Amino acid sequence: MEVVILPDAEAVAALAARTVAAELRRAERPVLGLATGSSPLGIYAALRGIVEAGELSMDGVRGFALDEYVGLPVGHPESYAEVVRREAVVPLGMDPALVRVPDGAAEDIEAACADYERAIAEAGGVTVQILGIGGNGHIGFNEPTSSLASRTRIKTLAAATRQANARFFAEADGASVPTHCLTQGLGTILEAGALVLVAQGEHKAEAIRQAVEGPLSSRWPASALQLHRRATVIVDEEAASRLELADYYRDTVAAKPDWQRV
Ligand code: GLP
C-alpha cells in the first residue's frame, strides 16, 4: 500500500484526481469506480479541471457507484444515484447511460445485486476505484464484520453511519437516514485494477491507522486494502496523525524517482 501524506484537503484531492486520470488514460476500456460522501467531492472538482484542460477525455468512460440506500424514492436528492449524477456525471460530462448505481428500489434485491456484479464484469471490471472511509472503517457501506470476500449485497447500516450521514438529510438525528443499503462487497472492490482512498480530518485518523497499520480484520473493513497490490491512500496531516510509520511513508514518497510520480 502506498501512503501519501499531504498538507491539506486540496492537495489530497489534486493528487487523487491526477492518479485517477492517469489510470483512466492508460486503460483500454476505462471504467471509473465512483464513491459518494463528502471525501471524494474535491476529487471530482479537480478531475473536472483536468478534463476541461483537455488532459483527459471522459468520452466512453463507464462508471459504477459503490453503494446506494434502500427504500428512498427514485430521484430523492440524497439517493446516491442523484448524488453521483449531480457531483460526478454532470460536471465531468460523463454519458449517464454508461453510469450505474445499485438499484435500491428493486423489488428483487438479490437479483439486482447479482445483476450489478454481472454488469461490472461485462464492462471488463473497474479500472480505478475511488474510496472514502467511514469513521468506523467502512468502505462503500461495508460495515465492521463484513466478510473480506463479500460481493454486492444488502447490508444494515451501523448506527454510527446513520448518525454521521444524518447531516445530508432533513433531520439531524439520523432518524430519516435509511436503515439499509446495497453495497459492492469487499471482494468486489478488491477486484478493481487500482484503489485510491482519500481521507481528511482528525475524525478519520483512527480508521486510517487501523486500515493501514492495523491487522487485516473485518472489524476495520478498510484494512482489506492491504490485500490489494495497487492501493494508494492519500491523506491530510490530520487524518495521518495516528500513523506510527508516518515518517517512513514521507521518506518513501520523497525518494521516488521522477518517472514514478503521477
Ligand atoms: C458514506 C459512504 C462511503 C463514504 C463514507 C464516508 O456513508 N457510503 O462511501 O466513504 O460514508 O463519508 P464522508 O466522506 O462523508 O466522511
Nearest residue by C-alpha to atom 11 in ligand 1? 134
Q: What is the distance in A from the centroid of ligand 1 to the CA of 259?
A: 33
Lowest mean pLDDT among 50-54, 70-74, 137-141, 174-178: 174-178
Total domains in the fold of the chain: 1
259 occurs within a structural domain: no
261 occurs within a structural domain: no
The verdict on the CB of residue 161 being under 6 Å from ligand 1 is yes
Return mean pLDDT, the chain: 96
pLDDT by residue (tens digit) across 65-88? 999 999 999 999 999 999 999 999
Give me the CATH number covering residue 84: 3.40.50.1360
Give a three-class secondary structure readout of the chain.
Answer: CEEEEECCHHHHHHHHHHHHHHHHHCCCCCEEEECCCCCCHHHHHHHHHHHHCCCCCCCCCEEEECEEECCCCCCCCCCHHHHHHHHHHHHHCCCHHHEECCCCCCCCHHHHHHHHHHHHHHCCCCCEEEECCCCCCCECCECCCCCCCCCCEEEECCHHHHHHHHHHCCCCCCCCCCCEEEECCHHHHCCCCEEEEEECCHHHHHHHHHHHHCCCCCCCHHHHHHHCCCEEEEEECCCCCCCCCHHHHHHHHHCCCHHHCC
From the list 23, 87, 117, 143, the catalytic residue is 143
Lowest mean pLDDT among 70-79, 114-123, 169-178: 169-178
Domain residues for 243?
A: 2-254
Would you say residue 175 has pLDDT above 90?
no
123 occurs within a structural domain: yes
Residue 196 · residue 187 · CB < 8 Å: no
Pairing of strands 153-156, 2-6: unpaired
Average pLDDT of span 253-260: 78
196 occurs within a structural domain: yes
pLDDT by residue (tens digit) across 189-231? 999 999 999 999 999 999 999 999 999 999 999 999 999 999 9
Average pLDDT of span 55-74: 97
262 occurs within a structural domain: no
260 occurs within a structural domain: no
Average pLDDT of span 49-72: 97
241 occurs within a structural domain: yes
145 occurs within a structural domain: yes
67 is catalytic: yes
| Ligand 1 atom with the shortest distance to the CA of 36 | 9
Nearest residue by C-alpha to atom 12 in ligand 1? 37
The verdict on the CB of residue 177 being under 6 Å from ligand 1 is no
Residue 139 · residue 224 · CB < 8 Å: yes
pLDDT in the model for residue 259:
63
228 is catalytic: no
pLDDT by residue (tens digit) across 231-246? 999 999 999 999 999 9
Nearest residue by C-alpha to atom 9 in ligand 1? 140
